[in-house]
Amino acid sequence: QVQLVDSGGGLVQPGSSLRLSCAVSGRAVSTLTMAWFRQAPGKEREFAAALKRSGGMTNTANSVWGRFTVSRDNGKNTAYLQMNGLKPEDSAVYYCAAATGNPISSSLTLASTYDYWGQGTQVTVSS
């Protein structure tokens, strides 16, 4: 059974950087397609970024393009979301997700693609 534990959220000022972590247990992170979603109050869960298990491709939503990067450390069995240039509209609960298959690129943005989810970590961007 795969388990994901999100961490690293907090309260930061606009323009700051933050790195979220997703600790994976039960399976090697290198065998998973990893993604990050976010959900703000009153809004639907939104795709942010994904990293295919090959490690050779990332997929980033337009709203965070150029600011957010997903990566992984195989030795620590952990995935990360590096967030730079944070804006108030980035405030949300952030969830990591994992897919055990090899989803096609066009499906990476869909929550239904993913088999496992973390519990979420709150990110608040405010001055």
pLDDT of residue 55: 79
pLDDT of residue 105: 86
pLDDT of residue 19: 98
pLDDT tens digits for 43-88?
Answer: 999 999 999 988 776 778 888 999 999 999 999 999 999 999 999 9
- Give SS3 for 43: coil
Q: Give the start-end residues of each E strand in the chain.
A: 3-7, 10-12, 18-25, 33-39, 46-51, 58-60, 68-73, 78-83, 92-99, 116-117, 121-125
Q: Kind of pairing, strands 92-99 and 78-83?
A: unpaired
The rounded mean pLDDT for the chain is 94
- Give SS3 for 49: strand
Which position has the higher pLDDT, 104 or 20? 20
Q: Kind of pairing, strands 46-51 and 33-39?
A: antiparallel
pLDDT of residue 82: 96
CA distance 36 to 45: 10
pLDDT of residue 106: 87
Counting every residue written for the chain, the total comes to: 127
pLDDT tens digits for 115-127?
Answer: 999 999 999 999 9
